Structure 1
Amino acid sequence: MNKIIVILILSAAVGYSQGKNVTVAYGLIIEKETGLFDNNAMLKSMLEKSILESKKLTFQLIITENGSKFFNEEMLDSDIASHSQRFTLAMANYMGIVINLKEKLLFQKEMLGENIYAEEDLKNNWILTNETKLIDKYLCYKATNVYTVLNGSKIFSHPVIAWYCPKLPFPYGPVGYGNLPGLILELRVRNTVYGAKNIKLNSDSNFDIKALEKIKILDKKQLEEAYYKLNDFID
């Protein structure tokens, strides 16, 4: 993603070591993928719309001493997203707010309720490489992983590529990806690319960690049961 990153530094100190937080704005690009939805004209048309609509979306990552919060600005500003917006977000692997509490991930499950979250382990199994590239003069290193999708009895694996910057020592990134020795400035998952557009060090933005006391966290079994009941109700 060839975006210019604007770094706003209010002091020489980096990040929350001085009691301030860090915010990162990410843009999104959904690319065409050969063969995707070729057998479904409706989904293919929706994908083409998503490719255009994705460029209008902005996501925020707030980093504090407690962890991080990743969210889509438009979804927070609107109670009801259009069908095409939800399709675009689904294509971007974004299903709601993601809270990273350093030792675990909490994913919002908006279909089940605003305050329903599922707990997952931090992203691991990264393969670190010596390959580098500059992203707006920041030296970034390449790390790879695999995104696995279960569809019935079939398992699909898609490549994940993260470019992280050790000079920005925050182990976070878009849509729950992180646990690397630096901030992820660019993330590619299949045909979706998140790219940092703006990084603000010593930001006043924050998220209320106490609000997590009011949410309900489901384990894997509870989540499966909740979706089963939801599907049974819809049917």
Structure 2
Amino acid sequence: MIMNFTNKQILRIIFLFYFSISFSQIAKSDSLRGEFIYLLKYKPNTLNENYIRKELFSLQIGDNRAFFISENKLKIDSVFSSAYNNKAENFVLDFTNIPTGSNFLIIQTNEHSQFYETVGMSLLSYNSYIIDNWKLIDENKVINSITCKKAEVHYKGRDWTAWYATEIPFPYGPYKFSGLPGLIVKITDKTGDYDFELVKSISSSNVKGKMITINKRHYQNAKLVTKKELVEARKNFRENSKHQLESMGTVFSQDPKDNFRERQKVNEAQKKGHNPIELED
């Protein structure tokens, strides 16, 4: 039987089996002390300054650690969980209204931040040091009705300006940013290529008595690697996944405009202008 798939369907096909055997594993060991939603706006490619991507992330704070994860990733978990709990024989997993999101989880503690990412069928992880070279600045600003203080830091090749709220006494923030005497409400790099801003917070009364329910398949039993090794694994997976599916009889849809040379040009342009959040290892 010959199957026809578009490129966007590839990853969902490969991950389907992995999700189906692990999505029911939920960790409930952390009491939920705070939940905050951040909007990330960023420019993925410097050759197209007008193209800005947007994505929502959830920061769930427990007693001793905080979890930072894409809202789209949580929605996918919810779809699988619902299908599993209903135990329908011929259930349909509908991802139509769930855009592809960032495929990572970051767990912050007072000692370090741990980065997790599923690459193919493997869960990989690397450790990052806590940011301890913040420069606190005597300047205040009100952002979304929250009084904030200013701080600056140079991190992984970018200069960042953060605004944090001492009235929200959590030393965490979006991505790997933590270590300030209050929750980070907004943080932007000097070029304006990356910007995180708090857009929603769950009231303390609504989190009281609740637990963090991040699916433990996102971080349990991960293989510890270096950041360089994870990036290399990600690259190899992308290059090999199509060949593996073709060997199984998959035929990829062909757009008349999407010929080999044009794809090469696009890929080369993307590589030249690739604009990661971390510019240094």
Give the TM bin, normalised by the shorter chain.
0.5 to 0.7
CA distance in 2, matches of 1:61, 1:226: 23
Which structure 2 residue ranges, 5 or more long, are not aligned?
A: 1-30, 78-94, 241-281
What is the 5 A alignment of 1:1-235?
A: 20-30=32-42, 36-37=46-47, 44=48, 48-49=50-51, 51=52, 53-54=53-54, 57-78=55-76, 96-111=104-119, 113=121, 115-148=123-156, 157-189=157-189, 190=191, 191-200=193-202, 201-202=204-205, 203=207, 204=210, 206-207=212-213, 214-220=220-226, 223-225=227-229, 227-228=231-232, 231=235, 234=239
CA distance in 2, matches of 1:32, 1:118: 23
CA distance in 2, matches of 1:145, 1:70: 20
CA distance in 1, matches of 2:134, 2:120: 31
Decide whether the 8 Å contact of 2:118 with 2:218 is kept in 1.
no
Alignment-derived partner of residue 154 in structure 1: none
> Does 109-118 or 164-173 show the bigger shift?
109-118
Once the two structures are superposed, what CA deviation does each residue of 1:154-207 show, in whole Å capped at 9, x if it has no partner? xxx321111001111100000111111000001113422111111122413514
Q: 1:194/1:226 Cα in 2 relative to 1: closer, same or farther (>3 Å)?
A: closer
Q: TM-score, normalised by structure 1?
A: 0.65
Which structure 1 residue ranges, 5 or more long, are not aligned?
A: 1-18, 38-43, 149-156
**Larger strand proportion, structure 1 or 2?**
1
Secondary structure class of the residue paired with 1:186? strand
Q: 1:66/1:231 Cα in 2 relative to 1: closer, same or farther (>3 Å)?
A: same
Decide whether the 8 Å contact of 2:112 with 2:129 is kept in 1.
yes
Secondary structure class of the residue paired with 1:173? coil
CA distance in 1, matches of 2:126, 2:44: 30
Q: 1:224/1:64 Cα in 2 relative to 1: closer, same or farther (>3 Å)?
A: same
Q: 1:158/1:74 Cα in 2 relative to 1: closer, same or farther (>3 Å)?
A: same
C-alpha RMSD over aligned residues: 3.4
CA positional deviation for 1:209:
9.5
Once the two structures are superposed, what CA deviation does each residue of 1:112-146 show, in whole Å capped at 9, x if it has no partner? 65632211111221111111101233221111112
Decide whether the 8 Å contact of 1:117 with 1:215 is kept in 2.
no
Q: 1:205/1:196 Cα in 2 relative to 1: closer, same or farther (>3 Å)?
A: farther
Question: Which amino acid in 1 is paired with 2:153?
Answer: N
Q: 1:139/1:120 Cα in 2 relative to 1: closer, same or farther (>3 Å)?
A: same
Q: 1:114/1:173 Cα in 2 relative to 1: closer, same or farther (>3 Å)?
A: farther
Count, aligned residues:
185
CA distance in 2, matches of 1:225, 1:194: 27
Decide whether the 8 Å contact of 1:24 with 1:60 is kept in 2.
yes
Once the two structures are superposed, what CA deviation does each residue of 1:21-55 show, in whole Å capped at 9, x if it has no partner? 2100112333699xx31xxxxxx2xx644x2x41x
CA distance in 2, matches of 1:76, 1:228: 26
Secondary structure class of the residue paired with 1:74? helix
CA distance in 1, matches of 2:103, 2:225: 17
Question: Which amino acid in 1 is paired with 2:185?
Answer: L
Q: TM-score, normalised by structure 2?
A: 0.55
The percentage of aligned residue pairs carrying the same residue is: 23
Question: Which amino acid in 1 is paired with 2:40?
Answer: L
